[in-house]
Amino acid sequence: MKKTIITVIITFLATSAVWYVVTDLRDAVYVVRLRSAVKVPGQMAINTIRDDLQAGRHETAKARLEVLRASWARFIAEEGRVQNGIGNIMAEFGDMPKPTETRMGPNHSLHRTP
């Protein structure tokens, strides 16, 4: 009886240890995937949109924001199972027509006061 209990306990502990290691490794892979497929491209896209806004290219920023929104909607609809997340967002931005340059005078401001 003692031998059976000890065998069950050892089996339980070994299984728990293996399960812990496997799930921990899986979580580590998900963190790397999240960072490379969502966080970094998302930050780059937001920075690009912010730069367009600061340069006065509001229509370009609006178009890029719409591309980002559509990419995010695809990512959410597939519950994060999209192969590259939103990782191709910068390529999608690159496929867009080139923005027209606007020249702003020294008194131009993004925040207009009445």
Which amino acid would we find at residue 16? S
Confidence (pTM): 0.59
Q: pLDDT class for 100, splitting at 50, 70, 90?
A: low
Task: Please check whether residue 32 is in contact with residue 58, taking contact to mean a CB–CB distance below 8 angstroms.
Answer: no
Domain ranges (residues) in the chain: 2-95
User: Tens digits of per-residue pLDDT, 38-51?
Assistant: 888 889 999 999 99
Task: Please check whether residue 41 is in contact with residue 75, taking contact to mean a CB–CB distance below 8 angstroms.
Answer: no
What is the DSSP secondary-structure string of 29-75? HHHHHHIIIIIHHHHHHHHHHHHHHHTT-HHHHHHHHHHHHHHHHHH
